[in-house]
Structure 1
Amino acid sequence: MTKVKVENLTKIFGKKQQQQVALQMVKEKKSKTDIVKETGATVGVYDVNFDVKEGEIFVIMGLSGSGKSTLIRLINRIIEPTSGDIYIDGQDIAKLDKEELREVRRHKMSMVFQNFGLFPHRTILENTEYGLEIRGVEKEERQQRAEKALENSGLLTFKDQYPDQLSGGMQQRVGLARALANDPEILLMDEAFSALDPLIRREMQDELIELQDKVKKTIIFITHDLNEALRIGDRIALMKDGQIMQIGTGEEILTNPANDYVREFVEDVDRSKVLTAQNIMVPAITTNLDIDGPNVALQRMRSEEVSMLVAVNKKRELLGTITADAAAEARKNKQTLHDVLDKNIITVEKDMLISDIFPLIYDSPTPLAVVDNEDNDRLLGVVIRGSVIEALAETTDENEVMDNE
């Protein structure tokens, strides 16, 4: 279900006459620098279109000046759009009056900024209650909701302390808890972790992913850090000069960059920490134990020139493996394939990273089975050692090329 939909959204900063000339120059593919020099107007966002699904972490990524922070402020109308539409649950908030917009901001969305914005003379609990307090929520209810948000963020123990008693990472967790205490449907996060030390930042990314698993909010997350985007984003929109260059999953953007800009932007990423089992798996050569006997299994091995088959049932649920020796023994002893089934096969989920797969396959005598855990371990394919080594080698080769350039 689509939660947020943005259509033809444009923001140009400047006088109306300047905006019209600037719009025409954008259409003519002029650069932001040329437009500023000629018109005095600045293109913040131009003709942006995207949608965000309910419960999705949608990352908007780009370098400084790309328009990403302007875009998130257009979504909640901190900045007024020049043109275009912004729909939340089908309601066009670009056309709401001030009172209607205030209600949407109070009940539909909350924002978490880079600077923590905590009140130094309020306790952690009082800081977390603040949004509910200004909405007029009764003290007992707002305390309960704030405590629940702090508990979800692992901060309830610190509720009576003050911001200066907490580390930067913990302060940002309070900022996140404060936003969640309002129970918003949409969470807007503008460079929320960029002021933190790298180690703390990574911990916050992990916590956001874990927290999202509990609260399942719709999150629009702004960052300039590609690795952060790849780590937390379900999908990513990459911006340049106020326009979206590409929207897709991290894997889609890495494997099929839309243009040279995207290709250059992502070229220094360690793909082994982004690409998954699904990207490198190959079709499994299988035997269906509900139907096949030893003769069929041996015939398939001969025709496919392999010495082992992956055993499944009619529903393609993984059962194990059958080797040529085992099938021959079953034929000799008039047994079924179930009698000689080897259930010792390592399984991995389709979204396991290549960097995590390598230690598993290094000593494995068989390929790894890629399964869909949400569908009764249905077999999707197998990962062979050669595919992993090839993927790791490609990453190494790319890094060496970049080092030599």
Structure 2
Amino acid sequence: MSEQDNATLIEVKGLYKLFGSEANKHMHLVHEGLSKDEILAKTGHTLGLKDINLKINRGEISVIMGLSGSGKSTLIRHFNRLIDPTEGNILVDGTDVMTLDQNQLEQFRRHKMSMVFQRFGLLPHRTVLDNAAYGLTVQGLSKKEANERAVEWLETVGLGGYEKQYPSQLSGGQQQRVGLARALATNAEILLMDEAFSALDPLIRSEMQDQLIELQEKLHKTIIFITHDLDEALHLGNRIAILKDGELVQDDKPEEILLNPATDYVEAFVRDVNRARALTVETVMQPQICRITADSISDALKQMRKTDDDYGYHVTDDGYQGIVSQETLEEAVRDDNGDDALCEKVYEDIPIVAPDAVLEDILPETINADYPVPVVDEEGEIQGELSREAIADVLSPDQVPEEAAKASQPTAT
């Protein structure tokens, strides 16, 4: 089995869903290529999904998105068989969920997958604690153990002390945190989140997105998140699958969705996205070319003259040290300091940026730097460089600061 296969937790193969009382009878029309509208007109049946093939990796947030009617909620409900497909297979950890009998399916839903709903799905007559413990009691845990675990998860999502409250006494954001605590408390490996934050006010929604990311960094769950909001998808997703009229039109990393849309539909979808807010340094940076490893100024100058660049990044066994320019090194040699150690006194005043920094946050320092800014990781190792030209290339014209736009233009000869 390949490394990719080991990483795959859920695999959807040739999935079709035709809604109607005689779906199997009319499936030949789908395979003959009739459109959704044509099938509806001929048969009164609605095509929900058409030939979906999708892999979801273990421990990642996979976003499935599309506009209303695209099939995204239909698809997520196939994973735990709230909806059965007309054709196709859904493999979870190698097991086809279509082969599970009723008892096996109940165990699968109780232990393997948890779901967080758009409208919270809380039981209004039960306390916050009882709601959070509900899935655990269904699993068969004692009330004492279920309550103890529920209290821990309520504290994790920021609701410690709210155990005796009722859902009606909570804000929308707090109610959704209860729903999240309930889903996480069951310790299910897979979390299904169907438009989980879309009913919340924008500020609370943003806070919930950030909290989900923080939790995921600790828990490494496999999360399938449904949304119609591209900004939300870009913020949360390790991968994004885009549906249109029941068909999968692109499944890729967020930066690929933005920079290399597969169809005109996807291109129109991403056209107005603020790329500076969505892309990280790592997605735009280029490999740094000139690494200066010499100890002295004169040796550093000799090393640089063998390259086509007039600047270089000084690195030692301790990692990145600073950026040096050919002009500064030549000036130091002329001043008879060529044998001096290469150190801070000859470094250019250039900031460093982290690979995971969002472009919007580092635009000013990058644009105002005289040289491409070094990209340095947490261990102090240089990973690449970020230039004004690279930023201008990936941002749409109305998102490029004037300084970057000018820097990216070729000079007249």
Matched residue, 1:403 = none
Matched residue, 2:87 = 83
Matched residue, 1:400 = none
Deviation for aligned residue 1:343: 8.6
| Contact persistence 1:57–1:235 (CA under 8 A) | yes
Identity %: 48
Matched residue, 1:347 = 352
Show CA shifts across 1:331-377 (max 9, x none): 8232232475639642222232221111332444543211333xx33
What is the SS of the residue equivalent to 1:5?
strand
Matched residue, 2:340 = 335
Matched residue, 1:13 = 19
Is 1:381 aligned to 2:387, yes or no? no
Identify the match of residue 52 of structure 1 among 33, 50, 56. Answer: 56
The one-letter amino acid of 1:353's match is V
| Contact persistence 1:57–1:219 (CA under 8 A) | yes
Cα distance in 1 for partners of 2:207, 2:111 equals 29
Matched residue, 2:236 = 232
Matched residue, 2:208 = 204
Cα distance in 1 for partners of 2:333, 2:161 equals 62
Cα distance in 2 for partners of 1:63, 1:187 equals 22
Show CA shifts across 1:140-173 (max 9, x none): 2111110111111011121121111111011011
Show CA shifts across 1:3-57 (max 9, x none): 11111111111233x5443x33333443211110112111111211111111100
- What's the C-alpha RMSD, in Å, of the aligned pairs? 2.3
Matched residue, 2:133 = 129
Matched residue, 1:323 = 325
Is 1:267 aligned to 2:271, yes or no? yes
Identify the match of residue 313 of structure 1 among 312, 316, 326. Answer: 316
Matched residue, 2:297 = 294
Aligned CA distance change for structure 1 residues 337 and 179 (closer, same or farther; 3 Å): same
The one-letter amino acid of 2:177's match is R
Deviation for aligned residue 1:99: 0.6
Identify the range of structure 1 (270-279 vs 210-219) with the bigger mean alpha-carbon deviation: 270-279
The one-letter amino acid of 1:37's match is A
What is the SS of the residue equivalent to 2:353?
strand
The one-letter amino acid of 1:355's match is E
Matched residue, 1:3 = 9
| Contact persistence 2:113–2:188 (CA under 8 A) | yes
| Contact persistence 1:58–1:234 (CA under 8 A) | yes
| Contact persistence 1:9–1:48 (CA under 8 A) | yes
TM-score using structure 2 length: 0.88
| Contact persistence 2:172–2:200 (CA under 8 A) | yes
- Equivalent pairs, count: 391
